[in-house]
């Protein structure tokens, strides 16, 4: 009987994650589209800040999509999705996610060594999550006004 209750609770939890993920997708898409339009219109610092908003909204959309895969992961159906991708491009994208955070916390934040394409094979989504979490934790534990690392 406990096993049946646990299964029912688990199913309800998975349904909740699936439903909430679908609910997040629409407003995120509605945010992204006008931001993309505004990026085309603006120049300079305003354009850069809109680009950061767009990148972070895209990141949230990606995370939402990952929640939609939660059911597959729980059922053990989701494995590695290995593909060829440009690590430089991924690194630059992740760098821009945190550019505004660095500015607001007055932290020196630069990226070097990825000027040329770096082709690699791996699960791009999982690598993105790992890098995002590493940098997020670095910002969380770096004191305000840090100009050296």
pLDDT tens across 1-14, in order?
Answer: 568 888 888 778 77
Q: Both 75 and 119 in a single domain? A: no
Please state at what angle helix 87-97 crosses helix 44-68, rounded to 10 degrees: 110
Of 79, 112, 129, which residue sits at a domain end? 79
- Residues 29-48: tens digit of each pLDDT: 778 878 888 888 888 888 88
Query: Looking at residue 97, which CATH number applies to its domain?
Result: 3.30.565.10
Domain of 1, in residue numbers: 1-79
Q: Domain count of the chain? A: 2
Same domain, 1 and 74: yes
One domain, residues 52 and 110: no
> Does the model's pTM come out above 0.85?
no
CATH of the domain at 63: 1.10.287
| Average pLDDT rounded to a whole number, residues 63-67 | 78
Could you tell me if 25 and 64 are in contact, meaning their C-beta atoms sit under 8 angstroms apart? yes
pLDDT at 69: 67
Q: What is the Cα–Cα distance from 124 to 110, expressed in whole angstroms?
A: 22
* 54, two tokens: 């767009």
């Amino acid at each position: 009987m406990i096993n049946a209750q646990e299964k029912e609770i688990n199913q309800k939890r998975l349904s909740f994650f699936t439903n909430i993920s679908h609910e997040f997708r629409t407003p995120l898409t509605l945010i992204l589209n006008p931001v993309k339009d505004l990026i085309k219109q603006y120049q300079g610092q305003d354009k850069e800040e809109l680009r950061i908003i767009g990148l972070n909204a895209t990141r949230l959309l990606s995370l939402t999509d990952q929640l939609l895969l939660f059911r597959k992961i729980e059922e053990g159906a989701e494995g590695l999705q290995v593909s060829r991708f440009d690590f430089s491009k991924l690194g630059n994208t992740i760098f821009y996610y945190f550019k505004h955070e660095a500015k607001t916390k007055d932290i020196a934040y630069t990226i070097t060594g990825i000027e040329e394409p770096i082709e690699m094979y791996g699960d791009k989504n999982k690598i993105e999550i790992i890098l995002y979490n590493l940098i997020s934790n670095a910002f969380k534990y770096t004191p305000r006004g840090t100009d050296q690392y």
